[in-house]
Structure 1
Amino acid sequence: MPEESAEVRSFWQELGLPGVVDVHTHFMPERVLDKVWAYFDSAGPLTGRPWPIAYREEEGQRLARLREFGVRAFTAMLYPHKPGMAAWLNSWAVDFAARTPDCLHTATFYPEPGVEAYVAEAITRGARVFKAHVQVGAYDPADRLLDGVWGLLAEAGLPVVTHCGSGPAPGKHTGPGPIAEVLARHPRLRLVVAHLGLPEYTDFLDLAERYQEVRLDTTMVFTPFTEETAPFPKTELPRLAALEQRILFGSDFPNIPYPYVEALRSLERLGLGEGWLRAVCHDNGARLFGLG
């Protein structure tokens, strides 16, 4: 869609940026992604509403689309839902990162015997960001099996994009409590709270104010789709503005039910200013990942 690409590029060009840094995009083995899309198609219990995939394309087309948008760097957010899966996903991610230089090499983990060893291997092999999906994995992030993993990641200074909020449907271990226990043990952990912790926005803003290395990504928040069911409280906008240096743009591409540009325009409509938009849509991510 040339028109959409032009609109996305116009957005960041008008801000004087060299492009967009998107910390929350999904690339994974095709058979796994097919199952993820089938779940969205079924409006399963973790979504609970119709969720048409806007960018249901093959991998090469999706990569080309991000590049046409002017996304300088993006991630391959992949995640296991059962034991024995994470190490295999990490092996796939090594190859994907090698053939996709604009992808920030992404890895993942699951609470299981041997997890610390394969996370250490992923770090050695160049992982630059990790994904933890507490909702889909249905595990306690404070599980003692993961304590060494969080310690490794804190020591390495690697960001961990973590879906730990209770949206779009609560899980046994979602919400601020379990991940707050992790942060109490590992206060230097570079935790990136996915979706701004929706719907517990206030609680996760509290964590970001308490821990200097906690960041939040904007994935799907503020869009009309999300505002219908989990509106961001307008009274919290001053706190969002004050945390300008620790808010990161994320889109959830390709698994979004609206055009990519809508995520950017929704941030613009907040009225927090061009400086905030520049920081969120590019500069904070570029600084976190050491991009030139």
Structure 2
Amino acid sequence: MSGSETGAGDGGQEVAAVRGGVPEAAAVRELTARLGLPGLVDVHTHFMPKNVLDKVWAYFDAVGPMTGQPWPITYREEESRRVELLRGFGVLAFTSMLYPHKPGMGTWLNSWAADFAARTPDCLHTATFFPEPGAAGYVRQALDDGARVFKVHLQVGGFDPNDPLLDDVWGLLAGSGTPIVIHCGSGPAPGAFTGPGPVGALLARHPRLRLVVAHMGMPEYEDFLGLAERYDGVHLDTTMAFTDFSERLAPFPTGALKRLAGLQERILLGSDFPNIPYPYLHQLHALERLGLGDDWLRAVLHDNGAAMFHVKP
């Protein structure tokens, strides 16, 4: 993280920005107020059943050898406290990104997410799926139950998005225009079906899909920018991109900033909260320091997500 920020996630202490000792929530709200925004729309936050999240956190606790640097969880808090923190930051809408890693989990996870959304009105009802018999049925049920966004993780799931078991799923989602946040880049480590090839083949078959490429497609940034330039439904989220942590692992190519500016209406704020190894504020500062201007920031931090999900202040 930058020298102007520090994190203190353990023990329930609020992360503070060192700049003048201003508490982090106040610093986030100061940034959005400067831009004239009512708040933030974050399309990439994680809420999931506790036993699943515990395993996710254990993974990040052990991921240091893979990334070459430790990955402390800044917001290792219980569920209600995590919701409280996002609201304190002025996040108007967020997601409960969750994903199965084997058959038989999708229905259970979707049931949990539906309940979470029902008791958390500022959470965009999130659902997921896995290539398995019956996937189209439970995806259709999730849509009927009000799911507004889906999450797919090709790296964790280890599956090809072009698996025939998903043909009807993609058809349903393309037809409904439902956004799908998809982790398809090869960071932090490549998977059998990560990279632009499998997703490019999927889009060739289903060009109307509204895909939100997680992490800007890290580290294959330019390839995924190319897909967004080719397909109107392809967006990218900022999750962890441009931060000091990620710049050490997979720096964004300076020469691609002009293309990033040109895709202003297709870039959405994502954070990976709570699983980030730095303060939430740092993601916002990382976007600000790109120097793409206040109009670009307004679009990314609020306007694009608010338009996609019909979020009102």
What TM-score do the two structures reach when normalised by structure 2? Answer: 0.92
Where does 1:141-160 land on structure 2 (aligned, <5 Å)? 141-160=161-180
Look up the equivalent residue of 1:173 and give its one-letter code.
F
SS for the counterpart of 2:298 is helix
Q: Contact 1:87 / 1:118 at 8 angstroms: preserved in 2?
A: yes
Contact in 2 for aligned 1:115/1:146 (Cα 8 Å): yes
Which residue pairs with 2:140 in the alignment?
A: 120
List gaps (5 residues or longer) in structure 2.
1-13, 17-22
How far off is 1:48 after superposition? 5.8
CA distance in 2, matches of 1:45, 1:107: 31
The total of aligned residue pairs comes to 292
**Matching residue within 58, 68, 77 for 2:97:** 77
Work out the CA distance in 1 between the residues paired with 2:31 and 2:42: 14
Cα pair 1:45 1:169 within 8 Å, conserved: no
Amino acid at match of 1:213: G
Deviation at 1:190, TM superposition (A): 0.2
* Cα pair 1:40 1:47 within 8 Å, conserved: no
Would you say the 8 A contact 2:67–2:249 is kept in 1?
no
Does residue 266 (structure 1) correspond to residue 296 (structure 2)? The answer is: no
Secondary structure, in 3 states, of the residue corresponding to 2:127?
Answer: strand
Where in structure 2 are the equivalents of 1:201-216 lying within 5 Å? 201-216=221-236
Q: Which residue of 2 aligns with 1:58?
A: 78
- C-alpha contact 2:42 2:271 (8 A) present in aligned 1: yes
Moved more, 145-154 or 247-256: 145-154
Is residue 182 of structure 1 aligned with residue 202 of structure 2?
Answer: yes
Please give the alpha-carbon distance, in whole angstroms, between the structure 1 residues aligned to 2:294 and 2:206. 34
In angstroms, what is the RMSD of aligned CA positions? 1.1
- Distance in 2, matches of 1:280 and 1:265, equals 13
The offset of 1:50, in angstroms, is 1.6
1:237 alignment partner, SS class = helix
Residue 257 of structure 2 is aligned to residue 221 of structure 1? no
Q: Residues 64 and 71 of structure 2 are in contact (CA less than 8 Å); yes or no, is this contact kept in structure 1? A: no
Runs of 4 or more consecutive aligned structure 1 residues displaced over 3 Å after TM superposition? 44-49
* Structure 1 segments unaligned to the other structure (5+ residues): none
The letter for the 1-side match of 2:123 is C
Q: Does the CA contact (< 8 Å) of 1:80 and 1:86 recur in 2? A: yes
Residues 172-209 of structure 1: CA deviation (Å, up to 9, x unaligned)? 00000001111011101000000000000010001000
Give the distance between the partners of 2:178 and 2:59, measured in 1 at CA. Answer: 30
Deviation at 1:45, TM superposition (A): 7.3
SS at match of 1:39: helix
Which position in structure 2 is the counterpart of 1:243?
263
Give the C-alpha shift of residue 47 in structure 1: 5.2
Q: For residue 78 of structure 2, what is the amino acid of its counterpart?
A: E
Question: Cα offset for 1:49?
Answer: 3.9
**What secondary structure sits across from 2:92 in the alignment?**
strand
Residue in structure 2 matching 1:4, options 24, 34, 46: 24
Q: Residue 113 of structure 2 is aligned with which of 89, 93, 102? A: 93
- Asked whether the equivalents of residues 94 and 122 of structure 2 are also in contact (C-alpha less than 8 Å), the reply is yes
Structure-2 residue corresponding to 1:275: 295
* Pairing 1:195–2:223 present: no
